[in-house]
A and B are shown apart, each in its own frame.
Chain A
């Protein structure tokens, strides 16, 4: 198709130009048809989002258990329970730790990694593939595999290697509270670092090489080039990457569930696991809903924060 001969007017611009004209034209039939196109999405929105959210909010204020027909309004007592229940507090704490921990460390690894992977060297594609690979399979399966690797008993791979090489151990990688938290976060970083490096790489490749040439002529060191050119121009990628990491971190479920099942005790318990266990297995709908409401608010806050940040940055850099 000879798109190149068309005047460069996009749908967005066309709409802006013709908005007033178009509202009168078209007729009712056209309007009905285009509204019909929206219908499936509206049904999805109403039945999979609006109604369940409203139900969650209502149940969060009651002692609904799913069985009893007489539901009593209990006000904020479910929310109070969350803030005193040790398992839920543990879930909030570890989910935050996981979210912040993976976001910070993956970012610190992924940016330099992207810079290196973007240079020319022997075996580059092979190295890129190996880093990226952990992002492909299901996190649940990876968690199960790591459970064997980090097995706290002596025949666990890591423990047997440490014993052979240094004669130390065995360590309770998954049975000691702090070590279990460390292990879950470590596997989370392992699985995400390569993916985010590729994201940064995609943005690195859009930086014009002239910038670096000019900087070199001016005598800027590689270090100065990184901080003065690369990092500022990577800011949009940084915002997206950290947002994706943080939301994924807050939603985390598969990895801790399969690696440690939330244990030992509640050391690696997550918000999602808490919602599933109290809601589906224990039938404490009121409590699970209150947790879901708090969780929604936290994620929404994060999303709007990111939106605001992106706008601010666009205004400053573009």
Chain B
């Protein structure tokens, strides 16, 4: 009896608290269905009659689609390259431990520790020299720094794999690249997915590098597009909220499909490479 009561109380308390945490989210979504007048009059009540004009306006604006395409291209290219560079290095490092490799391994730790902000200014200047500033290619190059993080998580995972598989393949006369492509990559798929999910969230959501690198409106990423929408809709709050909600949809969908891997990743961070 008391146990049931206690559980009910816990439920009630936790749900109330969670709703409090989610109020900003509710506020944003509910106001996308209002006109500006409605919003100012009653910011927190649901609209008496949902107004779809905001969505109509946002979804017929080609700029938001263009920014989605830009972000998608940058994220796909950056994350795939990061994973490839990281996996190649991890495999080479684990399979063969020469003295040189150990030195390189130590240096890679440097790349793991140094934050992006520290190298931002010199890299920016170098990219200006190569005329890669204000290009999506330049942005992808900047994100390649994330390969080192991928390397560390992947090599930690490779070390836990059964040793015989790689060894046997080598004795069977398979070439190094063949072993990597046919045997190692499929074996390390779980960690590739987990790391890929984390890197995708980082690149897609990043604001620092796009705001420093991109100035042409046609090359904006989604986050940059939303940031610039603020000055455009300074007084039209519901319009801005609608742009934000539309911008968030892909990431939320992505999360729904990958949340299992996020929890795995949180644990992998603890296992450590």
Contacts and interface: CB of A to CB of B under 8 A. Distances in A.
Residue of B17, B18, B43, B141 ringed by the most chain A CB atoms within 10 A: B18
Nearest to A9: B163
B207 A144 contact: no
Interface in A243-257: 244, 247, 250-251, 253-254, 257
A133 B26 CA distance: 12
Interface stretch (A196-204, A207-215, A223-231): A196-204
B44 to A, nearest CB: 7
Nearest to A116: B14
Interface of A: 3, 6-15, 19, 22-23, 26, 30-31, 33-35, 37-38, 40-42, 44-45, 48-53, 55-56, 59, 66, 116-117, 119-124, 126-127, 130-131, 133-134, 136-141, 144-149, 155, 157, 160-161, 190, 193-194, 198-199, 202-203, 236-237, 240, 244, 247, 250-251, 253-254, 257-258, 271-272, 275-276, 279-280, 285, 288-289, 292-293, 295-296, 299-300, 303, 310
A257 to B, nearest CB: 8
Nearest to B107: A45
Given A138-B248, A251-B117, 4 more contacts: A10-B159, A41-B88, A123-B11, A138-B226
Given A145-B28, A299-B113, A51 B205 contact: no
Q: Is the interface of A mostly helix, strand, loop or mixed?
A: helix
Given A26-B96, A49-B110, A202-B266, A37 B119 contact: no
B101 interface: yes
A15 B94 contact: yes
28 contacts: A6-B165, A9-B162, A11-B161, A13-B163, A33-B176, A38-B93, A41-B88, A41-B148, A45-B148, A48-B141, A49-B111, A53-B122, A66-B125, A121-B7, A121-B14, A130-B25, A134-B21, A138-B251, A140-B223, A141-B244, A145-B24, A148-B240, A198-B266, A272-B117, A276-B211, A288-B121, A292-B120, A296-B114
B212 A276 contact: yes
B122 A56 contact: yes
A12 B93 CA distance: 11
A44 B85 contact: yes
A275 B117 contact: yes
Nearest to B128: A66
Contacts of A292: 117-121
The 7 closest A-B CB pairs, nearest first, are A14-B163, A41-B89, A37-B92, A138-B205, A140-B207, A52-B119, A52-B122
Contacts of B27: 149, 157
B249 to A, nearest CB: 10
Contact of A53 (B18, B114, B222): B114
Contacts of B247: 138, 141
Interface residues of B, number: 102
A22 B96 contact: yes
B230 A144 contact: yes
Contacts of A240: 269-270
Contacts of B180: 37
Contact of A116 (B10, B161, B208): B10
Given A11-B163, A121-B11, A140-B226, A280 B208 contact: no
A48 B119 CA distance: 7
A34 B165 CA distance: 17
Contacts of A272: 117, 208
A130 B21 contact: yes
B153 interface: no
A300 to B, nearest CB: 5
A302 B34 CA distance: 48
A26 B226 CA distance: 55
B3 to A, nearest CB: 11
B110 to A, nearest CB: 6
A138 B108 CA distance: 28
